[in-house]
Structure 1
Amino acid sequence: MDTAFLEQILIIFALSIGALALCYRLKIPGIVAFFLAGIIAGPYGLGFITNRADVEILAELGIIFLLFTIGMELSLKSFLEMKKGMLTGGVLQIGITIGVVAVIASALGLAAPEAIFFGMLLAHTSTTVMLTVFQHRGEVDTPPVRLALGISVLQDLSTVPMILLVPMLGGMGSAGVVPSLINFALGLVLLGVVTASALWVVPRLLYRVASLRSRELFMITVIALCLGTAWLTSRAGLSLALGAFLAGLIISESEYSNAALSTVIPFRDVFTSFFFVSMGMLLNTGFFAAHALVIVAIILGVIVLKAIIGAVAVLPAGVSLRTAVLTGLAIGQIGEFAFILSRSGIEYGLLGPDLEQIFLAVSVGTMTVAPFVIGSAPGVTAAVRRLPLPERLRARDAPLKTAPANGPKEGHIIIVGFGPMGRHVAEAARSTGVPYMAVELNPKTVREKRTSGEPIFYGDAANEGVLAHAGIERARVVVVTIPNAATARQVTAIARKMNPECAIVTRTRYMEDSLPLYALGADDVICEEFETAAEVLARVLIKYPVQKSDIDRLVASMRTGNYEMLREASGQVPSLRDIGLHLDNAEISIVRVEKGAPIAGKTLAETDLRRRYAVTVLAIRRGAETLAGPDGGTLIEAGDLCILVEAGQKNEEVSSLFRPGPEA
């Protein structure tokens, strides 16, 4: 083996480790780290690698495996599930971007084919970068992010027809257009072959291989299908990347696609890193230094242009201004598939040396600042709302003009977000007779739930007008269930400003987000990360001979330590539940006095709860009135809510006092 080649591989890995660690600390996407490693190691950096051809071979394999996995992750069913917003928004975004960029590029002196091709490059967004940013923010499951990711996936898929169109663009105005048309037709024929293979040939082949139960045989077969299809398309005059994508599509419809995907992913991750390193090696640092101001201006221009186009493209789907702005900012960077497409453009003379350098620098720049651009969404949304927009657009962020007929008037719960958590809160409130009103940003959810009689309306709760419509001034509790940490902070701050007396319970995913929420006025912050740890602790200990009371005590101690620490740091007073955690061998409960119960119509002295059952009544809630610290002469009435501290072991006997007996 050539030791020089091995030395180059080691240099790339060593530089990548350092660059990845740096980017992780700066919260910059990992793809940028590979670009940085390539810039440092390449001929325009420190010159550690002089023979770029060896790296190019590994980079080519990276492209093949990347497109192969994309093809396997896609199926016709999942494509159709992208629905109106993603399909319409994605098609409009791609078409408008290509058209606008082509016009601007033509005005700057590029020929029509080159201008169109540059528009095709800028139409792409990095799905990997977007996923990394939103996973770190804990927002992948939110409707705006799902919309942005769906558009990004559609952009990735558009690379395939674009690769087929590149030879036609390269042959425009010359005799080469006829061969290009032939290649395009050949590509369509290959798609037909792929369909036939996916339906009849490959599933049978993989079944035969899988039945032998050899992991090595299955892995080699999958890789052979990938490389073999790529080789065939290359021999037919089409690109290797197209063949790899088609091979992935062939396997995607078989029942073995998941096993095949898990087999290939390690190869994809390793070889794809070489692809981005090789692209970094192409970046001429001297050219960048000489044109730094121009490149920075183009980076800003591309982000702004793509953000505006992305926001406009999704408006026909009826989304809110906030969703449109976030979608536009999320797709503001240039994606990895643009680099794959650029290789074809270089091959057919559509991307000259200077234009290639600008493209590389701008792409890396947009990826680097992507987390900060996405993080600016709340501020940008607020600025957009101040613009003189058409009333029709403003109405999308406003609540429905008429509240639901069964909506509460006062003393109710406002549920912000009607996902699984919000629905559980609503169900509990409904079953106990507590009035509530829900605010949701997903129009489909609002439409479905309103037809079933839910007191719910459409609106962005980060807007004061929406909370006012929900009756924030008269609400007793606000429950913020949305996973977006930034939006949760906004809603908490606005709710506290509009109603200083209401209780605010906010959900968050990570402990690090809890303290800012307390500081903004939240009374309770329920942290998923911590609650999961507490539940895991309980489930683990219950497998051992540990008493349930000891498990409960440990979990309670765990909760007390963490939540109390956060409240002390934020200056919040303890809640009723926290007081209960400090009372050893005691439990706080709230019990309703039912009609016909033995205790109804008696005074506390007559019930003798403290002496007979070791139960103390802390307070009684009667309608809108709270009787704190009731004395022995306080009469207990049917319908009262009694807050009890139980220190005894006669829980069932005590509970029977608050409900009617068998003879009632």
Structure 2
Amino acid sequence: MDDSGLYVTLAAALAAAGIGALGASLLRQSVILGYLVAGMAIGPHTPGFVADIPTVEDLADIGVVLLMFAIGLQLSFRDVRRVGGIALLGGGAQVVITLGAVTGLGMLAGLGWLPALFLGAVVSNSSSTVLSKVLADRGEIESLHARVALAWSTVQDFSTIILVVILTVLAEDGSTASLAGDLLRAVGLAVLYLAIVIPAGFVLLPRFFDLVARLGSTEVFTLSAVVVALGISLLAQLFGVSIALGAFVGGILVNRSDLSHEVLGQLNPLRDIFAGLFFVSVGMLIDPRVLLDAPALLLLSVAAIVVLKGWLSVGITLAFRYPGRTAVLTGAVLAQSAEFSFLLARLGTDTGAISSELFGVMLAAAAASMVLSPAVLAAADPLGRALDRRLRGRARPPGEAPDPGLANHAILAGYGRVGRVVHRAIRDQAIPVVVIEQDAETVAALRRDGVTVFQGSASNPVLLERAGIRTARALVVAIPDPLSARRIVTFARGANPAIDIVVRTHSESERAFLEEHGADEAVLGELELALEMSRHTLKAFRVAEPAVAAILARMRSRAG
């Protein structure tokens, strides 16, 4: 296609994605729903403008890579360790049982064994993005059921990658006689790829990103992160492994680096744009008329996601002797499907394993479960409390008490000449403090002194989240960059309305802006310097201390 065609297609797809995301946000729904509707609007099954599907899909492949890379980056092995066996054994059992049960139901509904297996795979996964948003909206992100569900979804992510390998072979193999051999070959190539990439990645990638970070160039850092994501995916393709698997593995490898949060923060804007194109491309393949032709299968699929998977998760959680309310809320928050489900559904259409009708049903069911998720969780709460009363006296699992983690602490953004003085004052009072600093040598020195420190830009929302912005009592913004300070203050006030924010600034206009947009106090450096020099001079002339204090107060009020 010529350049003008590519430009028109890209512009149309992005415009549709933007409009769809805006509409979904206004309706307080996931932007994924907006992307899907946008794709349907510019697809071949609806009237009006029709975007070029192959071009959008080529662009969407980049979105798949960046999306999977980011998911790997955000995997929390700490969450899995915190809840122990229920994540690995319970999450694994849920995937296997769901896969088998839904495959059986699909075959009873008249599907072939392979389409039914794809349906089971789509149903088996839950979205950490959706559940995190629903839990955050309810203020339950640090609850026990949130920790269990997040760890559970991490195990589901790993299982989905295995399913991608297996389903690809099953869908592309035309001869049952060679099926076992082809499957063994695919698994062998995947294992070989992992055997080469994982050791090399663990050794080289942290050092590589540390070296790039020392250059101090945001542009070079962002470009390096994109190159690593695309490069590892390309290497996977050379081994006959899915690019999605390669990108996911790449994200896991970079996750090991101290700078993983910085990589994620730099990639997030690109990921959001191209991931939007991926979901738009999925929406373009949906024929709305198909949904009207298969209402029974659609209802069955929604029931499998919300009811079957939800209550199965409740039963497994109870089997690990968790309280009734925790079990019910865990099942409720896992009763949805999202990113990986769309990836698996698209894999089915790309390989010809599923029909357009089943593809539309899968996506509609996944989307419906996302819409229903907040209501399902709200309805589950009274059920959980009732079950708790019936099961009172049961032994509770080890480690059930909430992990307080970071709470009532101070966050210090910037450890320069100003930041180090503030840090000394805070530590002298035995107040817990987390430092965010970009300079690698400073970070290394602080770690040697036992200071809790994150390396990267404090304007990175991912980094602020890891520093515990939602539970912190105070935030000190001691960096000289006014644009970064604005972003930090705006995000911090939105994430934690109760936090006390003090920020340094160098102009009256900037001071007014910061205090208007969330800072409790913006300290004008030159003004405080002038006041201290005035204090010293007045004391030299033996002006009484109360009079000095009054003079300085008047000077400060005039400056404000």
TM-score range, shorter chain: 0.5 to 0.7
1:101 alignment partner in structure 2:
102
Larger relative contact order (C-alpha < 8 A, sep ≥ 6)? 2
Judge conservation of contact 1:19–1:33 (CA < 8 Å) in 2: yes
Q: How does 1:356-435 map to 2 (within 5 A)?
A: 356-381=359-384, 393=391, 395-396=393-394
Judge conservation of contact 2:336–2:373 (CA < 8 Å) in 1: yes
Q: 1:109 is matched by which residue type in structure 2?
A: G
1:318 alignment partner in structure 2:
321
- Cα distance, 1:26 vs. partner? 2.4
SS state of the match for residue 6, structure 2?
Answer: helix
**Separation in 1, partners of 2:163, 2:275:** 21
Flag the 1:396–1:5 CA change in 2: closer, same or farther, 3 A: farther
- Cα distance, 1:547 vs. partner? 8.4
Query: Are 1:123 and 2:124 counterparts?
Result: yes
Q: Relative to structure 2, which stretch is displaced further, 291-300 or 89-98?
A: 291-300
1:286 alignment partner in structure 2:
289
2:139 alignment partner in structure 1:
138
- Cα distance, 1:394 vs. partner? 5.0
Judge conservation of contact 1:88–1:317 (CA < 8 Å) in 2: no
**Separation in 2, partners of 1:540, 1:205:** 37
Judge conservation of contact 2:127–2:338 (CA < 8 Å) in 1: yes
2:243 to 240, 245, 250: 240
Q: 2:331 is matched by which residue type in structure 1?
A: G
Q: 1:93 is matched by which residue type in structure 2?
A: Q
1:160 alignment partner in structure 2:
161
- Cα distance, 1:152 vs. partner? 1.5
Judge conservation of contact 1:27–1:371 (CA < 8 Å) in 2: no
Judge conservation of contact 1:88–1:314 (CA < 8 Å) in 2: no
- Cα distance, 1:185 vs. partner? 0.6
1:611 alignment partner in structure 2:
none
1:529 alignment partner in structure 2:
497
Q: How does 1:508-657 map to 2 (within 5 A)?
A: 529=497
- Cα distance, 1:174 vs. partner? 3.4
- Cα distance, 1:47 vs. partner? 3.8
**Separation in 1, partners of 2:48, 2:90:** 44
Q: 2:98 is matched by which residue type in structure 1?
A: T
**Separation in 1, partners of 2:234, 2:18:** 32
Flag the 1:24–1:181 CA change in 2: closer, same or farther, 3 A: same
2:338 alignment partner in structure 1:
335
SS state of the match for residue 46, structure 1?
Answer: coil
Query: Are 1:10 and 2:11 counterparts?
Result: yes
Judge conservation of contact 1:125–1:152 (CA < 8 Å) in 2: yes
- Cα distance, 1:337 vs. partner? 0.6
Flag the 1:533–1:373 CA change in 2: closer, same or farther, 3 A: farther
Flag the 1:297–1:203 CA change in 2: closer, same or farther, 3 A: closer
Provide the alpha-carbon RMSD of the alignment.
Answer: 3.7
**Separation in 2, partners of 1:320, 1:248:** 34
Kindly provide the CA deviation profile for residues 231-277 of structure 1, in whole angstroms up to 9, marking residues without a partner as x.
Answer: 12212222111111122233222344333222222211110011111
Q: 1:280 is matched by which residue type in structure 2?
A: G
Kindly provide the CA deviation profile for residues 327-358 of structure 1, in whole angstroms up to 9, marking residues without a partner as x.
Answer: 11111111211121223333444323322121
Structure 2 unaligned runs (5+)?
A: 410-469, 471-495, 503-514, 532-547, 554-560
**Separation in 2, partners of 1:296, 1:344:** 22
How many residues are matched? 428
Q: 1:529 is matched by which residue type in structure 2?
A: P
SS state of the match for residue 174, structure 1?
Answer: helix
**Separation in 2, partners of 1:316, 1:327:** 13
Judge conservation of contact 2:76–2:151 (CA < 8 Å) in 1: no
Identity of matched residues, %? 28
1:68 alignment partner in structure 2:
69
Judge conservation of contact 1:321–1:397 (CA < 8 Å) in 2: no
Q: 2:264 is matched by which residue type in structure 1?
A: L
Judge conservation of contact 1:166–1:348 (CA < 8 Å) in 2: no
Flag the 1:5–1:197 CA change in 2: closer, same or farther, 3 A: same
Flag the 1:191–1:79 CA change in 2: closer, same or farther, 3 A: farther
2:252 alignment partner in structure 1:
249
SS state of the match for residue 178, structure 2?
Answer: coil
Q: Determine which structure has the larger helix proportion and give its number.
A: 2
Flag the 1:204–1:28 CA change in 2: closer, same or farther, 3 A: closer
Query: Are 1:355 and 2:358 counterparts?
Result: yes
- Cα distance, 1:204 vs. partner? 4.2
Q: 1:183 is matched by which residue type in structure 2?
A: A
Q: 2:9 is matched by which residue type in structure 1?
A: Q
Query: Are 1:306 and 2:274 counterparts?
Result: no
Flag the 1:55–1:167 CA change in 2: closer, same or farther, 3 A: closer
Judge conservation of contact 2:44–2:284 (CA < 8 Å) in 1: yes
1:220 alignment partner in structure 2:
223
- Cα distance, 1:219 vs. partner? 3.0
- Cα distance, 1:10 vs. partner? 3.1
**Separation in 2, partners of 1:385, 1:207:** 49
**Separation in 2, partners of 1:43, 1:10:** 17
Kindly provide the CA deviation profile for residues 532-556 of structure 1, in whole angstroms up to 9, marking residues without a partner as x.
Answer: 59998765599989989xx9xxxxx
Kindly provide the CA deviation profile for residues 506-527 of structure 1, in whole angstroms up to 9, marking residues without a partner as x.
Answer: xxxxxxxxxxxxxxxxxxxxxx
Q: 2:372 is matched by which residue type in structure 1?
A: V
2:28 alignment partner in structure 1:
27
Q: 2:364 is matched by which residue type in structure 1?
A: A
**Separation in 2, partners of 1:17, 1:160:** 29
Flag the 1:301–1:73 CA change in 2: closer, same or farther, 3 A: closer
Q: 2:21 is matched by which residue type in structure 1?
A: L
- Cα distance, 1:308 vs. partner? 0.6
Q: 2:290 is matched by which residue type in structure 1?
A: F
Flag the 1:86–1:5 CA change in 2: closer, same or farther, 3 A: same
Q: 2:497 is matched by which residue type in structure 1?
A: E
Judge conservation of contact 2:68–2:251 (CA < 8 Å) in 1: yes
Q: 2:262 is matched by which residue type in structure 1?
A: A
SS state of the match for residue 177, structure 2?
Answer: coil
Flag the 1:397–1:14 CA change in 2: closer, same or farther, 3 A: farther
Kindly provide the CA deviation profile for residues 153-193 of structure 1, in whole angstroms up to 9, marking residues without a partner as x.
Answer: 22122221111212343347232431231111110111111
Kindly provide the CA deviation profile for residues 354-378 of structure 1, in whole angstroms up to 9, marking residues without a partner as x.
Answer: 2212112211111122222222222
Q: 1:23 is matched by which residue type in structure 2?
A: A
SS state of the match for residue 258, structure 1?
Answer: helix
Task: Choose 1 or 2 for highest CA Rg.
Answer: 1
**Separation in 2, partners of 1:38, 1:234:** 27
- Cα distance, 1:209 vs. partner? 4.1
**Separation in 2, partners of 1:79, 1:383:** 28
Flag the 1:51–1:347 CA change in 2: closer, same or farther, 3 A: closer
TM (norm. structure 1) is 0.58
2:453 alignment partner in structure 1:
none
Judge conservation of contact 2:286–2:356 (CA < 8 Å) in 1: no
- Cα distance, 1:135 vs. partner? 1.9
Query: Are 1:174 and 2:177 counterparts?
Result: yes
Judge conservation of contact 1:28–1:371 (CA < 8 Å) in 2: no
- Cα distance, 1:32 vs. partner? 0.9
1:577 alignment partner in structure 2:
none
**Separation in 1, partners of 2:341, 2:77:** 23
Flag the 1:290–1:196 CA change in 2: closer, same or farther, 3 A: same
Q: Relative to structure 2, which stretch is displaced further, 9-18 or 334-343?
A: 9-18
